[in-house]
Each structure stands twice: as C-alpha cells, then as structure tokens.
Amino acid sequence: MKVSFLNVWFKYDTTWVLKDVSLEFENGKMYLILGENGSGKSTFLKIMSGILRPSKGEILIDDEPVKDVWELRKRVGYVFQVPSSQIVGSTVEEDVAFALENMGLPRSKMVERVEWALSVVGLSDFKKEDPLNLSGGQKQRLAIASILAMSPDFLALDEPTSMLDPESKKEIMEVIKHLKKEGKGIILVTHDLEYVEGIDEAILLENGNVSFEGTLLDLFKMRPNSIDVPLKYGVLLECGKKID
C-alpha cells in the first residue's frame, strides 16, 4: 500500500504552512521528516492521518484520490507528541480497547487485538495498571499500542521521544524499528537523531516546502548547515560509511 501527497497546500487563516507538497510513502519503510519549528512537520502528519484536510491538492491511497477522510484515518494512525493527551481508559487494557469499542468489533476480536498490541510494545504485564501511574516511556508505548490495535498500515509519530530519558528513547525506537520489520509504514518527526536508525528516506521541510528528499547520508552531506549532525553520524561520514 502507498499514500501519496499530490500538490498539497495547507493554511491556517491566511498563513500557508505547507506549499505544493508532493510525496509518496510505502508501507514497510521508515520516513524521517525534519525541519525547524514552524516548518510544517506536525501539520503534515495531521493531514496524512486525516485529522486535517488539505486547503488545496489531493491525498491518494494506491493512486486513488481519498474521497472519505475516514478511509485515511483507518489506514494511518497518528501518535501525538504528548502521550497523556491520548489516554482515556482507567486501565492500560481499557485504554487500548477504547477505539476498538467505537469500531464495533466483537469482544473476542477486541481482546485478541488488545493483547497483541500490548505484547508488541512490551506492556502485557501492565494491562491492569492505571495509565497515569506509568513512566513517560511506558505512556508513549501505550499511545503506540492504542493506535496499533486499530491495525493501520502506517503510523505517523510526532516527536515520540521528546520528553523521555535516554533509555526510554532507545526503547521507543526499538518498538518503531520492530513495527517497520512487521510491514508497517513509519512516518517519524523527531529531533532526537542520535537515536534514529533504519531510515529509508529523509525529507526536509523548510517554510512549508520540501527542500530535500533522499537518504539521510545525502542530507548530512549536502545540507550540513540545515541540520545538526549527531556525533555518531559525523564519524560515519568522515569514514565514508553507509548510514543505516
């Protein structure tokens, strides 16, 4: 499956936040969206997941224009930057089950999906816990599980490691890499490049425009002043090695 942006524009009031964006995303790949604050990254994710509609242009699924925004929302799950904003259940398993109940799934299927999603993110032992008692990293994993249970083809993650300690950042990135291996498409916005691995394509947004699209290595080589190159990648660049 693939999702495409075709000449997409978006504005808040009179300010254009995205300008003539055309991109294509395939499941089973991980895409990194980079850019300064205000460059349009979060807006981009919200359009991709059907939360916002383009002001101009089209979103396509497998080359067919999206007519019903709910079709896009079923295919692309959005994980908010602040995980607590997604928590609605009094226990971990209830939180994951909430959206499934709204979908009208049979109880047996719902239980199966909840258990599977919690196992993927490593929270099976916490299913009876109050979500508010979880650590920051655990809350982020719960947010991912809640979206994952709805079985989207893509996950759009907005700064999923921004408020976490170094160990929790590593754990979240391991979950994300696992989901990619399982065939999910990953669209990732993050400033924590030190923890990023497995990127298939990097996209740089500047003032709402796509100013670069290619490998992370080429981005660091061609646009060294546009992004802070993490130390570990700087060493690889000096050695001329490939960045995975």
User: Could you say which of 36, 101, 159, 182 is catalytic?
Assistant: 159
Pick the closest to residue 20 from 205, 208, 214 (CA basis). 208
CA dist 122 and 128 (Å) reads 14
The answer to whether residue 159 is catalytic is: yes
Residue 43, helix vs strand vs coil: helix
Pick the closest to residue 206 from 81, 21, 50 (CA basis). 21
User: Exposure string (b/e) for 176-200, b if CB count within 10 Å is 16 or more?
Assistant: beebbeeebbbbbbbbbbbbbeebb
Tokens (6 digits) for 106 = 């049979």
Q: Going edge to edge, which strands form the sheet with 209-214? A: 76-79, 154-158, 185-189, 30-34, 201-206, 209-214
Catalytic machinery residues = 159
